[in-house]
Structure 1
Amino acid sequence: ENPSARLSFSCFFCPRNGPVYVKNPHLDLMDEDILYHLDLGTKTHNLPAMFGDIKFVCVGGSPNRMKAFAQFMHKELGLEGDGKDIKDICAGTDRYSMYKVGPVLSISHGMGVPSISIMLHELIKLLHHAKCCDVTIIRIGTSGGLGIEPGSVVITDIAVDSFFKPQFEQVILDNVVVRSTELDRDLAEELLEYSRECKDFPTLLGHTMCTYDFYEGQGRLDGALCSFSHEKKLEYLKRAYNAGVRNIEMESTVFAAMCRLCGLKAAVVCVTLLNRLEGDQIRAPHEVLVEYQQRPQKLISVFIKKRLGLWNAQKLIDNVVV
């Protein structure tokens, strides 16, 4: 039997940072808040009872990947059962999938800024209504690398836009609002330190560039439309590399901006599926890509177990000679 299965997760934490807060005075005037895309609500569900013990939120694009991560964490935390019948809390909607394992919430966000933005609005309100305290939120995903080995895990130090600026532009009514994309530096450094426990893949700190498009917006030559040359593409990507960019994805700037405004400690940890300086199409075999996608999950598992005080206990168990 795994002794960690008997531990109470709540005992490891105190509300150092207070509850998750929202920056919307209109919410106080509402009799009920319906989290439509999550199939949850303040009157239909007891959100503090369901989610009040959440300390870690992990988000990623694919519903299947986030279910697999939840099942992985179920095993890593030594919880009862095999985790195969884990319940999708958002089963009443086809937009997102959400799974809870102990103090960990695993939720999909789809692809691109608009999709993750909708999910984050409702997720942050959910954490607020549930009176969650001291929450860390991490995006785990895939990306295209720049000048680094495929399979490398990039911990984002700064999320930048397509002009390599650390900002997110949000159109609100008819105004362009610019928001900072600063992430928690201490959290990034902590994750980098814990990556030493994952010796089978390289991990590094680097800038992550967020785009609004997978094809032209990322300088690909293989989309249905393309208005630039191979030389122009390489010139742009090399400028991005020289600016500190080590990977490219489609969610990090809005993720960083929204989490920062709501006081959430946030990090972005993505594996690279290819080196964009060498090509545009992902050609690695399926089994290789599956293993790549597990790499950020392994690092975050180490992080969560260390935060919960389970890592050293598990290492002692593993070293016991029967």
Structure 2
Amino acid sequence: MTSRRFTENQEIILDDSKQSLSKDGSLIIQNPHLKSLSSDNLYHLAIGTETHDLPALFGDVKFVCVGGTLKRMKSFAQYMANQLNIEFDHKDWTQASHRYNMFKIGPVLSVTHGMGISSLSILLHELIKLVYYAKCTNVIFLRIGTCGGIGVDQGTVIITEKAVDGLLRPFYELYILGKVVQRPSICDNELVSELKSIAAQEISGFRVVSGTTLCALDFYESQARLDGAFCNITEEEKNNYLYQLQDAGV
């Protein structure tokens, strides 16, 4: 569903259409133009519908796990191989693209997304199309990685139950055809509950909590750091902002 509202000089479009599943758990893609393509090249993954038999190669995928760096996601792939008792062949399925890294361990994909919202957005577009073309069913997407913490001890694991932008809005905002488009950032409450239950039963030695995650536009200024190349805020303003975030549940 799409709705529109207007500010003085700007049209803002709220697009709350959701990626939904069919009865068999396969993805119903939210782009009607894809049906008219004779082939689709997932350029940044170096994978295509003509060059690869996607259902045969990836049809068994149930978990797509993404994280920032090669070292982290390769280590995660090795960990999953050990847990599933599968030999890890270290094959990087996206090596030819020189942009991301993707490892397959049975039903698990371990993929790097680089740094920043734009890099992750490109990857998610192509990963969603990958599981669609591969006819995967009931796939779960997870982002695994580090973040700053507010009001929690260092080393605490946070399970995100709500995601907000730098204005504390639960939206992902982008510009399409010169217009502002806002898409709600909605977490799967059932998955969050399941992860919390697993953590309570299986994990000891460090704290696991759920909370709100703020997705900033950059590492320095948007996160109120004082040590970037540019800065026009005071330490007092920074601390007041962090207290504001803590009061908002971040």
TM-score under structure 1 length normalisation? 0.69
Cross-structure match for 1:60: 67
Matched, 1:101 2:74: no
Contact 1:16 1:134 in 2 (8 A): no
Cross-structure match for 2:50: 43
Q: Is the partner of 1:114 in helix, strand or coil?
A: helix
Cross-structure match for 1:219: 224
1:124 to 119, 123, 128: 128
Q: Which has the higher helix share?
A: 1
Following TM superposition, by how much is the alpha carbon of 1:182 offset from its aligned partner in structure 2, in angstroms? 1.1
Counterparts of 1:223-262 in structure 2, within 5 Å, are 223-245=228-250
Q: Which protein has greater RCO, CA pairs closer than 8 Å, 6+ apart?
A: 1
Give, as a single letter, the amino acid of the residue that structure 2 aligns with 1:211. A
Describe the shift of the 1:200–1:16 C-alpha distance in structure 2 as closer, same or farther (beyond 3 A). farther
Counterparts of 1:37-186 in structure 2, within 5 Å, are 37-79=44-86, 81=87, 83=88, 85-186=89-190
Cross-structure match for 1:201: 206
The Cα offsets for residues 131-167 of structure 1, whole Å up to 9 and x where unpaired, read as 0000011000110000110100000010001111111
Q: Is the partner of 2:28 in helix, strand or coil?
A: coil
Following TM superposition, by how much is the alpha carbon of 1:78 offset from its aligned partner in structure 2, in angstroms? 1.1
Following TM superposition, by how much is the alpha carbon of 1:16 offset from its aligned partner in structure 2, in angstroms? 5.9
Following TM superposition, by how much is the alpha carbon of 1:93 offset from its aligned partner in structure 2, in angstroms? 1.4
- Indicate the RMSD between aligned Cα atoms, in angstroms: 1.1
Following TM superposition, by how much is the alpha carbon of 1:110 offset from its aligned partner in structure 2, in angstroms? 0.6
2:215 to 210, 214, 223: 210
Give, as a single letter, the amino acid of the residue that structure 2 aligns with 1:239. Q
TM-score under structure 2 length normalisation? 0.89
The count of corresponding residues between Structure 1 and Structure 2 is 228
Give, as a single letter, the amino acid of the residue that structure 1 aligns with 2:246. Y
In structure 1, what is the Cα distance between the partners aligned to 2:24 and 2:158? Answer: 27
Same amino acid, percent of matched pairs: 50
Structure 1: give runs of 5+ residues left out of the alignment: 1-14, 246-322
Counterparts of 1:307-318 in structure 2, within 5 Å, are none
In structure 2, what is the Cα distance between the partners aligned to 1:166 and 1:203? Answer: 23
Contact 1:171 1:177 in 2 (8 A): yes
Cross-structure match for 2:41: 34
In structure 2, what is the Cα distance between the partners aligned to 1:90 and 1:195? Answer: 32
Following TM superposition, by how much is the alpha carbon of 1:42 offset from its aligned partner in structure 2, in angstroms? 0.2
In structure 1, what is the Cα distance between the partners aligned to 2:179 and 2:28? Answer: 24
In structure 2, what is the Cα distance between the partners aligned to 1:122 and 1:64? Answer: 22
Contact 1:59 1:138 in 2 (8 A): yes
Matched, 1:21 2:36: no
Give, as a single letter, the amino acid of the residue that structure 1 aligns with 2:187. L
The Cα offsets for residues 38-92 of structure 1, whole Å up to 9 and x where unpaired, read as 000000000000000001110011122111111110010012x3x2x42111111
The Cα offsets for residues 161-211 of structure 1, whole Å up to 9 and x where unpaired, read as 111111111111111011111100111111011112110110001000001
Cross-structure match for 2:14: none
In structure 1, what is the Cα distance between the partners aligned to 2:116 and 2:78? Answer: 25
Cross-structure match for 2:13: none
Q: Is the partner of 2:246 in helix, strand or coil?
A: helix
In structure 1, what is the Cα distance between the partners aligned to 2:136 and 2:215? Answer: 29
Contact 1:16 1:133 in 2 (8 A): no
Following TM superposition, by how much is the alpha carbon of 1:94 offset from its aligned partner in structure 2, in angstroms? 1.1
Following TM superposition, by how much is the alpha carbon of 1:22 offset from its aligned partner in structure 2, in angstroms? 1.7
Following TM superposition, by how much is the alpha carbon of 1:100 offset from its aligned partner in structure 2, in angstroms? 0.5
Structure 2: give runs of 5+ residues left out of the alignment: 1-21
Describe the shift of the 1:229–1:188 C-alpha distance in structure 2 as closer, same or farther (beyond 3 A). same
In structure 1, what is the Cα distance between the partners aligned to 2:149 and 2:226? Answer: 16
